[in-house]
Structure 1
């Protein structure tokens, strides 16, 4: 009995972990999806989807990206939270991103500045809100920019990471720029920054088709209203129930006469209508 209970617990735990892993992957995938339509061309970017040689997409297999410039160090992960199995951040405090024991584990981006010999850390990307946009609308092949932010007690911080398209491999962030009090910018090169291009062919008749549909709908409404009125209020039965029947019956003949008149007007009288009399010389 105890063995069966233990087996059930193991099975339930296994499927629970599998479900959590699936939900985590689905959430990360949904966060970093972006599409850009340029004319008849659709550019799809799914940064966290697996691609060749990169089963986790844009996500760093180390659990984080890192760039250090002068006295500033930045750790971040795109489309998911950071995981530190090695080289964790060492900060004087880290209460807005996991605390001293789990520093960096509760945010998407963390920056450390050397202040008086101590590394003071600030979370600059936190929560599920991640914005993805095109870098250059005139050249969508360039890549996308991923933006994340965090509202702190002193500053509203943000991080913008330009993901440049590079089919040859990955080049991690090498530069870091600070804009304002707590806004940072960096870039990396990755195959996930390259779009999947789909040609979208325009269909339909455009505005003419819309106008034609409106006219046909109005005509159908006119016929229906006329038939209902003549049937219920005038007591008319049979084919005469159609409103203005004489006009609709004569419409083909009227159209033919109009077309014939227009042809004669532009082409002149035909041979059959020319006079057969010969001129007489006196």
Structure 2
């Protein structure tokens, strides 16, 4: 039996690697900064905060382009999972250079705080859409809602979005910890999850097991066909058919 050539070994490795990537990628799902999918208790819970609903065409995002909460001498502006837009009532304060500058203050970030210091309003960037993270409020109860946390270089704002299928209650107060880490709460129908049984649209353990077995079987057939064709020199019609269908090797004629 002739020794396998280096290109034959590379072909075998490439075919195996490609099949492995395909199997690993199949059950994975993507999501943006306003989306979350978690599996709990045999069900898949999907959150899509920016998805339109009959009552809220922008989902949980503010139609005004921002939320505004004022307490004492401080004000926070924020927009969930997006940059803020100000068509009216824009922030007017000092030190907004890293978030749009004095003429477009707040338009290049997703969260901004204004504090009155010595009679002057001073702004601080507290969140950016590019640095946001979404997680469950209660890890054991996905239907309770989610937390959207947005970061800047040193500060943050965490928005607790409690599930309320009947009404949207806007935030009216906030708490502050440290120098510039803020927390606020709102209730909204978009904070409620859509649950899908794993036996249906979700992958679940049964679907994952089936895909794993299918990949192993396909890998066994593919590697065996390549080995028989290149290493043992068996050029039967069945081997050619397998290689044509699985790998697309049309140059073997």
Corresponding residue number in structure 2 for 1:48: 50
Gaps of 5+ in 2: 1-30, 200-204, 235-253
The 5 A counterparts of 1:1-282 are: 30-151=32-153, 156-201=154-199, 202-203=205-206
Task: Give the structure with higher Rg (CA).
Answer: 1
Q: Distance in 2 between matches of 1:102 and 1:189?
A: 29
Q: Alpha carbons of 1:77 and 1:205: their partners in 2 closer, same or farther (altered >3 Å)?
A: closer
Q: Secondary structure at the match of 2:32?
A: helix
Q: Alpha carbons of 1:144 and 1:205: their partners in 2 closer, same or farther (altered >3 Å)?
A: closer
Q: Distance in 1 between matches of 2:40 and 2:32?
A: 22
> Residue deviations 1:50-76, cap 9 Å, x none?
112111111101110011111110000
Q: Alpha carbons of 1:165 and 1:89: their partners in 2 closer, same or farther (altered >3 Å)?
A: same
Q: Secondary structure at the match of 1:31?
A: coil
Q: How does the TM-score come out when normalised to structure 1?
A: 0.61
> Residue deviations 1:45-104, cap 9 Å, x none?
000111121111111011100111111100000011111111111102311111111111
Q: Secondary structure at the match of 2:155?
A: strand
Corresponding residue number in structure 2 for 1:279: none
Q: Alpha carbons of 1:147 and 1:205: their partners in 2 closer, same or farther (altered >3 Å)?
A: closer
Cα distance, 1:39 vs. partner?
2.5
Q: How does the TM-score come out when normalised to structure 2?
A: 0.67
Q: Secondary structure at the match of 1:43?
A: strand
Q: Assess if the C-alpha contact under 8 Å between 2:90 and 2:105 holds in 1.
A: yes
Cα distance, 1:31 vs. partner?
2.2
Gaps of 5+ in 1: 1-28, 233-282
Corresponding residue number in structure 2 for 1:18: none
Corresponding residue number in structure 1 for 2:12: none
Q: Alpha carbons of 1:100 and 1:163: their partners in 2 closer, same or farther (altered >3 Å)?
A: same
> Residue deviations 1:176-232, cap 9 Å, x none?
11111221111111111000110102527969x97xx89xx7xxx9xx99xxx9xx9
Q: Secondary structure at the match of 1:89?
A: coil
Corresponding residue number in structure 2 for 1:253: none
